[in-house]
Chains A and B, each alone.
Chain A
Amino acid sequence: MTRYLRLYAYFLRFSFSRAMEFRLDFFFRIGMDACWYAVHLAFFVVLFNHTGTLGGWTLDQMYLFAAALFLMDALQMTVFANNLWALPIYINRGDLDYYLVRPVSPLFFLSVREFAANSFLNLLLACGIFVWAVARYPEPLGFSRIVLFLILQAAGAFLFYILSMLSLIPVFWMQSRQGIRDIFWSLHRFSHRPHRVYTGFIRRLLMTVLPFAFVVSVPASVLFEGASPTLLLHTTAVVGGGFALMVMLWRMGLRAYSSASS
């Protein structure tokens, strides 16, 4: 474990020094995410000009949801996104060999090697928006709920990573440009709105087989609705089950992998 932490510290150092080499891109990235935050907040503000609640949530609750969405996005952009974009290229070109011969888990190496320093600043910005949303909430949320939310939100970001990986792992067999990532990107839009707006079969789907509700909406709901033991168990089952499935498919993928030297 210590070895992995030390290795991650090296990844961080390299990533920051590389990010500072491309300063204009550094600021463009920050601007891009700031734009995304503004557009999302504006979207909800405009909607709430016409309604008092959406999915049973008020505008203040929607601000908390939006802040949770920004936190999740910034977290996954900072830790995982750059690595996952490159993964299909490594698999298709046979560049995976380099990672397979290292004395560390290839899954760990490939998933977190590149830390997006520019997105890290967006994570700070997202934290700022979250603090603002909590501060303007009409009732005190309580320390324990905030801590529980942060844990569930970290789990949500990890779940997003798992779902991304599940959409990329088919590249081992398909040799396509990006597996079924287009489908993933389309489906992940369901996580951009509170799960309470969905009804019937789709809501059940988002809580089980395609668990996008647990990426942002369920963690956010814990802030103002609290969490039942069933909900916590459900979250653990979804994240744990998803992780086990991902590792199993990853191993199967590695067995199917072939390159010029393997």
Chain B
Amino acid sequence: MNSRLFWKVVSLEARTKMSYRVEFWISAVAAFAADFGVVWFVWMAMFRESGAETIGGWTRDGIIIYYLTVVLVGKLVRYREFTGAISHDIYEGGLNRYLVFPVGYMPYKLAQRIGLQAPRIVQFALLGVIALLLVDIPAETAPTITTIVMAAATIAMAFLLSFMLDYCIHQVAFWADNVWSLDVAKWFVTSLLGGFMLPLSVFPGWAQDIMAWLPFRLLFDLPARVLLHRADAAEWALGLAAGVFWCAALWAAGRVLWRRGSLEYTGVGI
């Protein structure tokens, strides 16, 4: 798929997404307020009732900033409404047209996903600025040019990893009647093991050792910690390399699934 076509698809999807602007902003603000509001109350209660100064290496203010960052990073990494896009193509016969397109299916879907997610960069920036104004961010965690560049690379990797996970899971639709449940189950697992529900440092040591070998921590925990100066250059580079490895592994798995699955596929005219 040539880059001109790729970016044309990205632009088309972004414009489609922005055609429902009111819905886009209302759902964004509501989700942000609820996600952040619930954890804010839970962690206020945690610190109040435990009497601890720090929990899992985080102070009360630190953990609030962590969640703020994770919720914002989550906007760029995961895309709930993408749920069904690939599997719908398979179920509803929409895959027919992609089979005759002179472009690969996976790059096309990636371009669509980037386009759908692109308007969220505006949300990320706007809600981020509002958060910066409302929350007192200590100087040692305030973003710098270096951390922003490092975080941008990590978020890009996390986005690709999230897409590859979705791409593989959705291809199960070649064999199963409905993959919605698998997709939701994936979100439950990634939100816990990826650091969206809890910072990974609050888990017991043995659980952290296991999670270090899984790809989920690269989705939310690593980008958030990079942005908050909580990961040094070595950890960042190692995390990025691990992300690239997982993306490659999922890409290979996706190819195998595509080859086998497309043989199972039936649509009108095929």
> Which residues on A are within 8 Å of B, measured CB to CB?
22, 24-25, 28-29, 31-32, 35-36, 39, 42-43, 46-47, 49-56, 176-177, 180, 182-183, 185-187, 189-190, 192-193, 196-199, 202
Contact = CB atoms under 8 A, between A and B. Distances in A.
B202 A46 contact: yes
B192 A39 contact: yes
A170 to B, nearest CB: 12
B45 interface: yes
Nearest to A183: B30
Q: For B42, B56, B197, B202, which residue has the most chain A Cβ atoms within 10 angstroms?
A: B42
Interface residues of B, number: 40
A177 B191 CA distance: 26
A63 B46 CA distance: 17
Contact of A190 (B38, B50, B192, B202): B38
A176 B42 contact: no
A189 B23 contact: no
Top 3 A-B pairs ranked by shortest CB distance? A182-B27, A51-B50, A186-B34
B11 interface: no
Interface in B4-59: 20, 23, 26-27, 30-31, 33-35, 37-38, 41-42, 44-46, 49-50, 52, 55-56
A91 to B, nearest CB: 16
Given A35-B189, A39-B188, A51-B50, A46 B34 contact: no
A39 B26 CA distance: 28
14 contacts: A28-B182, A31-B185, A39-B188, A46-B198, A47-B46, A52-B49, A54-B42, A54-B45, A183-B26, A185-B31, A190-B37, A193-B41, A193-B42, A196-B45
Interface of B: 20, 23, 26-27, 30-31, 33-35, 37-38, 41-42, 44-46, 49-50, 52, 55-56, 175-179, 181-182, 184-185, 188-189, 191-192, 197-198, 202-204, 207
Contacts of B56: 50
Given A24-B176, A54-B46, A39 B34 contact: no
Given A22-B178, A54-B45, A193-B42, A186 B31 contact: yes
B243 to A, nearest CB: 23
Contacts of A22: 177-178
A202 B192 contact: no
Contacts of B37: 190, 202
Q: For B33, B46, B52, which residue has the most chain A Cβ atoms within 10 angstroms?
A: B46
A186 B50 CA distance: 28
B38 A192 contact: yes
Given A39-B189, A42-B192, A197-B42, A24 B177 contact: yes
B34 A32 contact: no
Contacts of A186: 27, 30-31, 33-35
A32 to B, nearest CB: 4
A68 to B, nearest CB: 17
Contacts of A196: 45
A67 B42 CA distance: 19
B16 to A, nearest CB: 13
Contacts of A39: 188-189, 191-192, 197
A176 B23 contact: yes
A196 to B, nearest CB: 8
B41 A202 contact: yes
Contacts of B178: 22, 24-25, 28
Contacts of B197: 39, 43
Given A28-B179, A54-B45, A202-B41, A177 B35 contact: no
